[in-house]
Amino acid sequence: ELRRIPRPPHRVPLLGDVLGVDRHRPLQDSMRFARELGPIFRRRAFGKEFVFVWGARLVADLADESRFAKHVGLGVANLRPVAGDGLFTAYNHEPNWQLAHDVLAPGFSREAMEGYHGMMLSVADRLTDHWDRHLAAGRTVDVPGDMTRLTLETIARTGFGHDFGSFERDRPHPFVTAMVGTLAYAQRLNSVPGPLAPLLLRTAARRNAADIAHLNRTVDGLVAARRRSGGGEGDLLDRMLATAHPRTGEKLSPENVRKQVITFLVAGHETTSGALSFALHHLARHPEIAARARAEVAQVWGDTPRPGYDQVARLRYVRRVLDESLRLWPTAPAFAREARRDTVLAGDHPMRRGAWTLVLTPMLHREPEVWGEDAERFDPDRFTPAAVRARPPHTFKPFGTGARACIGRQFALHEATLVLGLLLRRYDLHADPGYRLSVAERLTLMPEGLRLRLERRPALT
């Protein structure tokens, strides 16, 4: 019943709805179509029809796990050569998904998170040292670059006992360059007709193969080092290498471990880096919000130089700043859902078993019926407990939904809240008045070219 779903009026034979598209910003392009065409719409590209959904009622129905499940398609499917049957890219029916999920989930329990806290703090110290040096030299700071240094070091050290030395380098670590290459390539594959990809993207495909080889080499080295040194302190890598499934006794195979390590190193830092970067952008733009957040930090942390685990969870307003940042620019901006059996979406749209649709999270998060006509306005008070209770379920989905939702959610939120607290306490953040937010896409979102000027606040006594 595709005919009832709105589509753009002008179509080019063969190519489809590609008029006026921005090849490098497919998500923002779809957001434009969404605004014109409404809560469900379709676009055609290279002979294939894609259905996009963002209306609150439709998304809430797609969240019904008894009728729908994650679909591994488009960008996620294009990452299979990189991450194989790792947790993020595994098909629902692949046995390694359940196995890895059960083995790794305890690595994200509250106790595990408390164990990571000290390491997170020490990585944050590296960031503030780095920023202090920039400040002393009268330089502005590269926000996305430095947030990526921070989040990569955090996941690498807490999860894998590995030090990439990101803050000691002027340029991004080659692991990051290779990762960004594979993400951008996976995104680009969506914008060329499948059969022609090998021809059109010959050079890019060669570079992509080299990028994947680099990721594999890095990971193999890291695993070999751990095998040589014996166990770590029960971190993610130890779990991957040594933990048997509590019921079946099965362990992850060496090939699967490689895929999991890549998955966690990439998924574990790229989106958190974007979330922190957008939050810093908004804080610099809204000094009154920054002042309120800073007052909370002062109240909850007092003058403890090193806040404890519980003191981070108590930063409720800082957490709202983060939620509101993830509302406007959810850094993993879409997820796909497929029908488990023949069904009717929201009583309106028949779907055959296996049919799928892409949820446009940034548009769901701007749905006027839920967020109001001022949905574009940055306002952390949309996340007060009362406001959250008043909203229908499934209207805020930055971490996806259901069994395949983000396993690292608490990890990301703890890390990001801690770092925002530390930065707010230490610096006043000044936006460049000439900067216009520009959102770069490489499957994930990042505020491109964002630099801030810092001013040191009075040191703690």
Q: What residue numbers does the annotated binding site for heme cover?
A: 406
Contact between 421 and ligand HEM per CB under 6 A = no
Active-site entry in 399, 411, 417, 444: 399
DSSP string, 379-442: -GGGGSHHHHHHSPTTS--TT--GGGS-TTHHHHHHHHHHHHHHHHHHEEEEE-TT----EEEE
Q: What SS3 class is residue 6?
A: coil
Site string for ligand HEM, 148-177 (x = CB under 6 A): -------x----------------------
- Cβ 144 to ligand HEM, closest distance in Å? 14
Please select the residue that binds ligand HEM; options are 62, 79, 123, 267, rule is CB under 6 A.
267
Give the C-alpha distances (Å, rounded to integers) separating 108 from 92, 99, 114, 258. 21, 15, 10, 20
- Cβ 459 to ligand HEM, closest distance in Å? 30
Residues 6+ apart with CB under 8 A from 296: 315, 316, 317, 318
- Show contacts of 383-391: CB within 8 Å, 24+ apart: 383/319, 383/320, 383/323, 383/324, 384/320
Please select the residue that binds ligand HEM; options are 76, 237, 315, 422, rule is CB under 6 A.
76
391 conformational bin, left if phi > 0, alpha if psi -120 to 50, beta if neither:
beta
Concerning whether 399 is annotated as a catalytic residue, the answer is yes
Contact between 356 and ligand HEM per CB under 6 A = no
Please select the residue that binds ligand HEM; options are 408, 427, 429, 443, rule is CB under 6 A.
408
User: What does DSSP say about strands 356-360 and 427-431: parallel, antiparallel, or unpaired?
Assistant: unpaired
Contact between 275 and ligand HEM per CB under 6 A = yes
Closer to ligand HEM by CB, 37 or 189: give it: 189
Closer to ligand HEM by CB, 14 or 405: give it: 405
Contact between 412 and ligand HEM per CB under 6 A = yes
Position 139, amino acid: R
Closer to ligand HEM by CB, 18 or 99: give it: 99
Q: What SS3 class is residue 454?
A: strand
Burial state string for 324-360 with b = 16 or more CB within 10 A and e = fewer than 16? bbbbbbbbbbbbbbbbbeebebeeebebeeebbbbbb
Active-site entry in 164, 406, 411, 444: 406
Closer to ligand HEM by CB, 145 or 398: give it: 398
Please select the residue that binds ligand HEM; options are 400, 414, 419, 425, rule is CB under 6 A.
400
- Cβ 1 to ligand HEM, closest distance in Å? 25
Contact between 113 and ligand HEM per CB under 6 A = no
Contact between 268 and ligand HEM per CB under 6 A = yes
Contact between 404 and ligand HEM per CB under 6 A = yes
* Subset of residues 24 to 63 that bind ligand HEM, contact rule: CB under 6 A: none
Please give the Cα distance from 169 to 227 (Å, whole number).
Answer: 27
Burial of 437 (0-12, 13-18, 19+ CB in 10 A): middle
Please give the Cα distance from 289 to 287 (Å, whole number).
Answer: 5
From the list 19, 152, 151, 82, the residue with the least C-alpha distance to 420 is: 151
- Cβ 54 to ligand HEM, closest distance in Å? 14
Site string for ligand HEM, 300-339 (x = CB under 6 A): ------------------------------xxx--x----
Contact window for ligand HEM (CB under 6 A) among 54-62, 134-142, 394-402, 453-461 = 394-402
Contact window for ligand HEM (CB under 6 A) among 31-39, 137-145, 341-349, 397-405 = 397-405
Please give the Cα distance from 150 to 218 (Å, whole number).
Answer: 19
Residues 6+ apart with CB under 8 A from 409: 399
Q: What SS3 class is residue 302?
A: coil
Position 277, amino acid: S
Please select the residue that binds ligand HEM; options are 32, 67, 101, 453, rule is CB under 6 A.
101
- Cβ 339 to ligand HEM, closest distance in Å? 15
Please give the Cα distance from 128 to 136 (Å, whole number).
Answer: 12
Site residues, ligand HEM (CB under 6 A): 70, 76, 87-88, 101, 155, 263-264, 267-268, 271-272, 275, 330-332, 335, 398-400, 404-408, 411-412
- Active site amino acids: 271, 399, 406
